[in-house]
């Protein structure tokens, strides 16, 4: 059986899934299995997968009723063979460079339970922005010391661009929580909780692709703030587990997520009227956890200024300011991207 299983959830991905699948099947390390979970697509995704599976037996397509990417990934995790050594995740509109798996396996060869490698975001202008950290092999003590740095560097926010020990996932029954936002981060925190060795590789071998019509502002999700609180609580618990200080990077990442909660109130997909947006803002501003975590905010002037707005406790001021943030994201996406993704 294949040493590595690559898992891909797919929903209405007909336009780009073939390129994504082929980027896996054309890897220089061919000892792999690709499970693509077609999550109730209503376009031609299923037909594309059937055609590709007929060409390469390493591709296993599954079609399930729509339940979201977390559920789709969990279904694939249940299909892992006992012989599978490592798991990698890929989104259906992204792709891997040809040697990505071979490169990631360098960490596995060094005994790492988890290998992180760099990724690039390809913007609508075709430009690449790289996210990576210097090479390192970290034992448990060193993982704790590096947690804040890796988190702030955006290397722990998502499950892709990583090679994860299948043994670790099986032994601890690690699965994705049933959320539509933040489930990646919670999954990664649980992986880290049990990780004894972590390898960081610096080269960017994963390409995250933005498509026309896609916004840097995430979609509205009615449970998002509650998930933000849960993520922050898990981050604090992870610090206690490793015996390290819950310091500025964790507060910074929490605040960025809360800023996103307020910004998404002004996206086209938000169903709330003015009264509903105000009620949502009031719920956020009433959080004692937010008030405590926003003190001493770091991350530059924009973060400090927005944190001060939240500490004011004023729903009207907060809504006005984050309405402006949403407008900035639409009018000046490149500037918004630099602010959003800054370390």
CA dihedral of 150, 151, 156, 162, whole degrees rounded to 10 = -10
pLDDT value at 284 more than 80: yes
pLDDT 10s digits, 6-35: 999 999 999 999 999 999 999 999 999 999
Which two structure tokens, joined as six digits, stand for 338?
Answer: 């630099």
Mean pLDDT of 151-173: 96
Mean pLDDT of 27-52: 98
pLDDT value at 211 more than 90: no
Q: Domain residue spans in the chain?
A: 4-209, 224-340
Mean pLDDT of 84-103: 97
User: Under the phi-then-psi rule, with left for phi > 0, alpha for psi from -120 to 50, and beta for the rest, what region is 173?
Assistant: left
Q: How far apart are CA 336 and CA 343, in angstroms?
A: 14
pLDDT band at residue 338, thresholds of 50, 70 and 90? low
> pLDDT above 90 covers what percent of the chain?
83
Q: What is the mean pLDDT of the chain?
A: 93
Q: How far apart are CA 191 and CA 284, in angstroms?
A: 29
pLDDT of residue 72: 98
pLDDT value at 335 more than 70: no
CATH topology of domain 4-209: Spore Coat Polysaccharide Biosynthesis Protein SpsA; Chain A (3.90.550)
pLDDT of residue 20: 98
pLDDT of residue 340: 57
Inter-residue contact 117 to 206 (CB < 8 Å): yes
pLDDT value at 58 more than 70: yes
User: Taking the model in full, what pTM does it have?
Assistant: 0.94
pLDDT value at 253 more than 70: yes
pLDDT of residue 259: 95
pLDDT 10s digits, 200-209: 999 999 999 9
User: Under the phi-then-psi rule, with left for phi > 0, alpha for psi from -120 to 50, and beta for the rest, what region is 300?
Assistant: left
Mean pLDDT of 88-102: 97
Spell out the alpha helix ranges (H) of 61-215. 69-77, 100-109, 140-152, 166-171, 183-193
pLDDT value at 236 more than 70: yes
Lowest mean pLDDT among 57-66, 126-135, 166-175: 126-135
pLDDT of residue 232: 96
Burial class (CB within 10 angstroms; exposed 0-12, middle 13-18, buried 19+) of 82:
exposed
pLDDT of residue 302: 84
Q: How far apart are CA 145 and CA 197, in angstroms?
A: 13
pLDDT value at 228 more than 60: yes
pLDDT of residue 337: 60
Query: Between 216 and 95, where is the model more confident?
Result: 95
Q: How far apart are CA 52 and CA 54, in angstroms?
A: 5
Q: How far apart are CA 329 and CA 65, in angstroms?
A: 33
């Amino acid at each position: 059986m294949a040493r590595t299983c690559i898992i891909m959830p797919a929903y209405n991905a007909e336009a780009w899934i073939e390129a994504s699948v082929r980027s896996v099947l054309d890897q220089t390390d061919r000892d792999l299995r690709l499970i693509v979970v077609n999550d109730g697509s209503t376009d031609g995704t299923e037909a594309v997968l059937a055609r590709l599976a007929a060409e390469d037996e390493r591709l296993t397509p599954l079609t399930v009723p729509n339940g979201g990417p977390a559920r789709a990934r969990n279904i694939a995790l249940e299909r892992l063979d006992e012989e599978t050594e490592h798991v990698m995740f890929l989104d259906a509109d992204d792709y891997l460079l040809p040697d990505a798996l071979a490169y990631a396996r360098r960490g596995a060869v060094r005994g790492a339970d988890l290998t992180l490698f760099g990724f690039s975001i390809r913007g609508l202008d075709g430009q690449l922005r790289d996210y990576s950290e210097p090479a390192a092999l970290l034992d448990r003590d060193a993982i704790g010391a590096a947690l804040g740095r890796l988190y702030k560097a955006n290397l722990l926010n998502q499950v892709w661009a990583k090679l994860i020990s299948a043994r670790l996932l099986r032994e601890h029954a690690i699965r994705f929580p049933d959320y539509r936002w933040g489930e990646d981060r919670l999954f990664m925190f649980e992986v880290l909780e049990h990780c004894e060795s972590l390898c960081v590789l610096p080269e960017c071998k994963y390409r995250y692709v933005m498509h026309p019509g896609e916004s840097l502002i995430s979609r509205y999700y009615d449970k998002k703030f509650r998930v933000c609180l849960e993520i922050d609580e898990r981050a604090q618990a992870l610090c206690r587990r490793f015996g390290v200080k819950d310091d500025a990077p964790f507060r910074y990442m929490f605040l960025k997520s809360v800023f996103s909660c307020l910004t998404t109130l002004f996206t086209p997909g938000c169903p709330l009227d003015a009264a509903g947006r105000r009620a949502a803002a009031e719920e956020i501003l009433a959080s004692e956890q937010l008030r405590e975590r926003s003190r001493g905010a770091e991350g530059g002037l924009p973060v400090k200024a927005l944190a001060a707005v939240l500490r004011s406790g004023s729903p009207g001021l907060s809504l006005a300011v984050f309405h402006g943030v949403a407008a900035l994201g639409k009018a000046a996406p490149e500037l918004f991207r630099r602010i959003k993704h800054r370390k």
